Amino acid sequence: MIIDKIKKDFQIFKNNPNLIYLDSAATSLTPDLVVDTMNDYYYNYNANISRGVYKLSEIATDKYEQAREKVAKFIGASSSQIIFTSGTTASINTIAFGLMRKISKDSKIAITASEHHSNFVPWQRLVSKDRLSIIKLNKNGYIDLEDFKEKITSKTSLLTISHVSNVLGTINPIKKLVNIAKQINPEIIVIVDGAQSTPHMSIDIQDLDCDFFVFSAHKMCGPTGVGVIYGKKELLEQLTPMFSGGNMTDKVSFTETTFTQIPQKLEAGTPNIAGVIGLGAAVEYLKNIGLDNIKTHEAELLLYTQQKLYKTFGNDIIIFGPSNIKDRSGVLSFTFKNYHPHDIASILDSYSNICVRAGNHCAMPLHTNVLCVVATTRISFYIYNTEYDVDKLIEGLKEVKKILK
């Protein structure tokens, strides 16, 4: 990968030439191609989709459905299995609401201790606390397989799990976990949060064999406000629509309403048309770079960063998650002495325009019960990051130590 060439694809680096952006796990930057594609919609064929019989509406509809096809091919699905939402949070909540009637009163939901609040709170609200089975992690951030096998039983109707932890970077062996879960309970429904995996590695949804897979556009060079649900067709058809309104109905009378087929059945109202079309452009952009190239690049940066942090700061730095680079994505969370992560992030920003994330990263149970810290500092890499960024981070952390010691 020629990073200098890639960085030229992003206007934000031209407008902020000294920017060191290390927060792509929260939101990735957006290349000019995606912005231009969205502007093209607004400038040249700005119309609502599906309803119009005039030329502009037909063009918008075609572009929107082309984006659906691009997303489907990107993960190895068919276009009828792709539902657009406003983000991963909306996707998970849509599934939770849609499955509400299928979850019996005595069944349980299994979830790991490392989940983002978006994949924790909806299920916590859906069932009582004694029906929510929390799967443990070991000290290195991996799922405890023995505990996993104990927590999945014939009464476990649903397993929901992140493909990659947004705090630890751990790449969970989804195919293996799905296989184990379905051997124990063939009727179990498995939902995978792919928000942190889809931007960074090739996804073959058929190989994973999960029932639902969700992710967001804004973490993969796309716009904010767009999310995706992949689902097995028979399960998508069984979901109760969370929203009702235009575009998802077949017939409406004073006494009865019937719904149309998926995917429209689960896409009520006017969608984020420009955003979805922008996601289609982002998919093409990432495919041209190559997901395997992205994964390799991030692994090299992770190794370089670990070595530099330990060499420079020794035991003052504690890095959480797998030590084996092969088992983690481009996310690295750490503590630095007793310095508060908010102070670290603030100094890094003021010192050298370095953007990192500080806090519990919407994973408070993980921090409180597993890591046993209030907060961590998180850096996360993507296609535009280089070793130079890491070197600037090290210089910034030296400044942190000088100021706070």
Distance CA 115, CA 112 (A): 6
Backbone angles phi and psi of 79, in degrees to 5: -65, -30
- 3-state SS assignment for residue 257: strand
Point out the catalytic residue in the list 210, 355, 362, 372: 362
Distance CA 32, CA 316 (A): 40
- 3-state SS assignment for residue 308: helix
**b/e for 4-41, b at 16 or more Cβ within 10 A?**
eebbebbeebeeeeebbbbbbbeebbbbebbbebbebb
Write the burial class of residue 128 (CB in 10 Å: 0-12 exposed, 13-18 middle, 19+ buried): exposed
- 3-state SS assignment for residue 196: coil
Query: Which letter does DSSP use for residue 137 in this model?
Result: B
**b/e for 157-166, b at 16 or more Cβ within 10 A?**
bbbbbbbbbb
Distance CA 366, CA 67 (A): 36
Q: Are 47 and 54 a contacting pair, CB within 8 Å? A: yes
362 included as an active-site residue: yes
Distance CA 263, CA 275 (A): 17
Strands 227-231 and 212-216, sheet pairing: antiparallel
Across 338-375, where does the E strand assignment appear? Answer: 354-355, 357-359
Inter-CA distances, 295 with 36, 55, 335, Å = 26, 42, 25
Other residues' Cβ atoms within 10 Å of the Cβ of residue 241: 17
Backbone angles phi and psi of 95, in degrees to 5: -70, -45
Distance CA 214, CA 194 (A): 5
The residues annotated as belonging to the active site are: 362
